[in-house]
Amino acid sequence: MRLNQLDGLLAFWKVAEHRGFSAAAAALEVSPSALSQAIRQLESRLGVRLLNRTTRSVSLTEAGQAYLSRIGPALGDVLDATEQLHAQQGRPSGVLRLNAARVAVAMVLQPLLADFLRAYPDVQIEITNDEGYVDIVEQGFDAGVRLGESIQKDMVAVPLGGLVSAAIVGSPDYFRRHPMPLHPSDLAHHQCVRFRFSGSGAIYKWELQIDGRLVEVEVGGHLTVSDSLFSIEAALEGIGLAYTFAPLALPHLQSGRLMRVLDDYSPTFPGFYLYYPSRRQQPPKLKAFVDHALAGASEPSLGVSSRSLAIPVESSSPALPTPGATR
């Protein structure tokens, strides 16, 4: 095998992983045309078509699927060996692929990124926003960020902060046109910004603390979104009431652009967790990020230290329409 043949193998592997040339080219930091040429040369050498290409999609042929099943683990081992070598030299490297909803990025990931990238210049982070549930192993992600309640079994999870409270908010303009709700039953007479799960298509029912128990309340409204951050923007525009996390609403509450209602009925949920598959040999890039996240996380409530050891978190129903699950 000539040395340049490895370029074609890596190109094919990445295109198959990303299901497209543009994303794969970005991951490899080459042009899509160079990537396409490398794969054409590989197919020519093998004498078989590996990919079905259309103007809109890329998929594996039967031969391509069989070939990928053989070379994928080997190429993964090669890259892991390189990362291990860099780690021995104190240099974690490679692309760290994370999956999280936009709200999780805003609340817990964004504050960590700048310092981490300065500390580990050989690591590149690729974040994919996804409002529905994603199998991070199947999709090729190194880790994900979700609420503790919505994490799959058999995952290792480390806390990124403490408990988080829900908040129902609306703009002063909205409340000039509608009376403030005093009880959850009053929500039936209000415009509420609803959230639809991208995976299942189900509408999220607002969860409220009523008489000491968590109750799901079905709300109505003229606007339904599948973006976990847009509900606040809609509330700011006076469209209706939004159900969100209190820390996200806090700046707007302090400025007077939003007002909080039904505070006594707003529950508190487990916070966000960084989770990943249990592995005997954790990739150095992931270990570095986990250590950095634990060092930067604030101390959570109830005396549970965010610097505790990673613990398995069992799956249950998700709490808020943020990291999301298929409901």
Mean pLDDT of successive 10-residue stretches along the chain, which has 327 residues: 58 81 76 85 88 80 87 74 63 87 87 92 88 75 81 80 91 97 96 87 92 94 91 96 95 97 92 81 85 70 28 34 39
CATH 1.10.10.10 fits 5-88, yes or no: yes
Distance between CA atoms of residues 269 and 275, nearest Å: 17
pLDDT of residue 166: 94
pLDDT of residue 300: 37
pLDDT of residue 297: 63
Pick the CATH number of 164-269 from 3.50.50.60, 3.40.190.290, 1.10.1040.10, 2.40.160.20: 3.40.190.290
Task: Give the other-Cβ count within 10 Å of 219's Cβ.
Answer: 21
Distance between CA atoms of residues 5 and 41, nearest Å: 9
Can you give the residue ranges of every domain in the chain? 5-88, 94-163+270-312, 164-269
Buried-state track 62-83, b at ≥16 Cβ within 10 A, e below 16: eebeebbeeebeebeeebeeeb
Superfamily of domain 94-163+270-312: Periplasmic binding protein-like II (3.40.190.10)
pLDDT of residue 90: 59
Residue among 118, 150, 165, 112 nearest 295 (CA): 112
Q: What is 197-250 written as a DSSP string?
A: -TTT-PBPPEEEEETTEEEEE----S-EES-TTHHHHHHHTTS-BEEEEHHHHH
pLDDT of residue 252: 97
pLDDT of residue 233: 95
Here the tokens at position 152 are 């799959």
Distance between CA atoms of residues 220 and 289, nearest Å: 41
Domains 5-88 and 164-269 agree in fold: no
pTM over 0.95: no
